[in-house]
Amino acid sequence: MKKLLFILLAGIILSSCGSFRRTADCSLTEDQLKAEPFTTKDQGDECINEWNMKVNELRSKLQSVTENVTKLEGQIATEVAALKKCNDDLYALLGASEADVREFEQRLGKLEGQIREMQQLSNDALIERQADVRALEAELNQLRAIKISLLPQFYDRMIAAGRNIKGLYREKKRGGEYVVGTWAENRDCLWNISGKSEIYGDPFQWPKIWQGNTDQIRNPDIIHPGQRLMIPAPGPKTSDEMKAERRYWRKKRAAMSAESMPGTASATAPTTEVKPADKPAAEPSQKGK
């Protein structure tokens, strides 16, 4: 009997020791719990209660956040409605509709894009495209005449566009001035002047001087001592200069053909003429190439 009581008491003690082997750790992962499971039901219940409390706490926070979101959405809707009413009132004052505002914004955006493209050009390229710059300014002035340009979302952009267009203007470089000397002393003709190192260093550029001084030179074969010629900036001949040069040579060939016909009298050139197409003459006249 004593032996049976001893065995029963030992079993109770061992069971009690097993239940207090460790407290429940509810932060363990599923894999950790599988490797070292709870030894009693109380440990499992303890964790279940703890997790339920955390779930309820999170649900309470979610409800609070949801209520705040709903409240903010209501405030946003109110502000949007107020903004729309404000815009409608502004459009009414300007006599414009939303479609008109969208069309204006598209035109302004296109203009801004063209300005950005022009800003990427070099100074030399901008000099040749001053007509395009003036066209941009004309478009900007047209937009300024539209009352929609006074709206807050466009005002600063219009100011910036005007400032950027002004920054695109360039002046053509001028090559200076040349006073024509005599043929006897200076051998001055358009061909020789163009060939001077301080001018172009290239006699074939003589049409640039001719076309830059059409107010003084009607016939490029004739220039006079003392004339003050404007020398255009160096560079390739423009299309107008090349066209004028071709016309000159056509007339020159036609005149030479007429002179070669029998019975045709050839005219004597004035002593002050300069002929870019002929070789220098021996007499003291202003004849050049």
Q: Nearest Cα to 200, choosing from 237, 152, 165, 154?
A: 237
Q: Is the pLDDT of residue 56 over 80?
A: yes
Percent of the chain with pLDDT over 90: 43
* Residue 227 to residue 217: CA distance in whole angstroms: 10
Instruction: Encode pLDDT of 109-161 as tens digits.
Output: 999 999 999 999 988 788 888 899 999 999 999 999 999 998 889 999 999 99
Q: Is the pLDDT of residue 289 over 60?
A: no
Residue type, 211: Q
Instruction: Encode pLDDT of 267-280 as tens digits.
Output: 333 334 444 434 33
Which segments of the chain does DSSP mark as H helices, in order? 2-19, 30-35, 41-94, 98-119, 123-128, 130-144, 152-166, 183-186, 190-195, 206-212, 239-260
Instruction: Encode pLDDT of 166-214 as tens digits.
Output: 999 886 655 688 999 988 888 999 999 999 888 888 999 999 999 999 9
What's the length of the chain? 289
Give the burial string for 29-59 (b: 16+ CB within 10 Å, else e): eeeeeeeeebeeeebeebbeeeeeeeeeeee
- The three-state secondary structure class of 161 is helix
* Residue 232 to residue 239: CA distance in whole angstroms: 15
Q: Nearest Cα to 19, choosing from 43, 35, 36?
A: 43
* pLDDT, greater one: 58 or 35: 58
Is residue 143 within 8 Å of 158, Cβ to Cβ?
A: yes
Q: Is the pLDDT of residue 256 over 70?
A: yes
HEC string of 206-271 equals HHHHHHHCCCCCCCCCECCCCCEEEEECCCCCCHHHHHHHHHHHHHHHHHHHHHHCCCCCCCCCCC
Question: Can you give the pLDDT at residue 92?
Answer: 79
* Residue 250 to residue 105: CA distance in whole angstroms: 53
Number of Cβ within 10 Å of residue 9's Cβ equals: 10
Q: What 8-state DSSP symbol labels residue 173?
A: P
Question: Can you give the pLDDT at residue 27?
Answer: 75
* Residue 88 to residue 226: CA distance in whole angstroms: 71
Instruction: Encode pLDDT of 93-121 as tens digits.
Output: 788 888 999 999 999 999 999 999 999 99
* pLDDT, greater one: 17 or 60: 60
Residue 108 CA, distance from chain mean position = 14
